[in-house]
Amino acid sequence: MALRERLLVQPGQAVMLADWDPADKLVFKKDSDYEASLARSIARLDDLQYLLYAEHRHALLIVLQGMDAAGKDGTIRHVMAGFNPQGCHVTTFKVPSEEEADHDFLWRVHRAVPLKGDVAIFNRSHYEDVLVARVRTLVPKEVWSRRYEQINQFEALLKENGVTIVKFFLHISREEQKKRFEERLKDPAKQWKLAPGDFEDRKYWDEYMAAYEDALARCSTDAAPWYIIPADRKWVRNLAVSHIVVETLEALKMKFPKPSLDPSAVKLV
């Protein structure tokens, strides 16, 4: 079974995260070939982004979600290094600003959607509005429960207008998160990443898992599929994400546009 098929949440499929092993090695082995395999994927991403820009018919939106310390920043740093920053931008969605809160919840998201030929990466996303908003009761159930379908309609609109969407849930275990938090507490170079809310969210672990299960099950569609990525092993996470992004872009079957002149007829002096 291809990696994309193995990690895909099938549309309409119920999701039980307990059935997905966050420490799964998948088809990979961490040996001397790991760095070489990741390097090949990164090089291929560079080629595909160039083709994406040249053809100028599609845009790529990558959504990264996961609990704190699941590796959203690490994935961007290690995998997305293959993208030319001129055509790639990263947006982090934190607590809405006063202006953002005065609009509908998708307003700030739509503003960050990539142009044709470009790549956009969301570090957290519009899914916060059916995750933290649900778990922390920031809005009533009658509000957040309607957002699943609103999200599906929004993503379908983007797809119909040339935006290819690929969504990754970085699936980390509670034990691995604790280990990474402990490492950050001991490392002065990582302590700045910690915030009181990180530890507070651990108290709601089961509630977050239930919220993620609903979001994954209700919002994995043909237009915008979800993939569950084992994230306890950083190297597995990096390889899995890189392979799926490459396969997603290759599936577009992009071609270079025809030149606007006949190159053989040009005589340089």
pLDDT of residue 194: 81
pTM of the model: 0.95
Distances in Å between the Cα of 158 and the Cα atoms of 50, 147, 161, 162 are 21, 16, 5, 7
CATH topology of domain 3-9+26-253: Rossmann fold (3.40.50)
User: What mean pLDDT is reported for the chain?
Assistant: 94
The domain ranges of the chain are: 3-9+26-253
pLDDT of residue 263: 80
Tell me the pLDDT tens digit for each residue of 77-136.
Answer: 999 988 999 999 999 999 999 999 999 999 999 999 999 999 999 999 999 999 999 999
Predicted confidence band at 260 (pLDDT cuts at 50, 70, 90)? confident
> Taking a C-beta distance cutoff of 8 angstroms, is the pair 120, 61 a contact?
yes
The secondary structure of the chain as a DSSP string is --HHHHHB--TT----GGGS-TT--TT---STHHHHHHHHHHHHHHHHHHHHHHH-S-EEEEEEEESTTSSHHHHHHHTGGGS-GGGEEEEE--SPPHHHHTS-TTHHHHTTPPPTT-EEEEES-GGGGGTHHHHTTSS-HHHHTTHHHHHHHHHHHHHHTTEEEEEEEEE--HHHHHHHHHHHHH-TTTGGG--HHHHHHHTTHHHHHHHHHHHHHHH--SSS-EEEEE-SSHHHHHHHHHHHHHHHHHTT---PPPPSS-GGG----
Q: Is the pLDDT of residue 32 over 80?
A: no
Predicted confidence band at 1 (pLDDT cuts at 50, 70, 90)? low
Tell me the pLDDT tens digit for each residue of 166-198.
Answer: 999 999 999 999 999 999 999 988 888 787 777
Tell me the pLDDT tens digit for each residue of 50-75.
Answer: 999 999 999 999 999 999 999 999 99
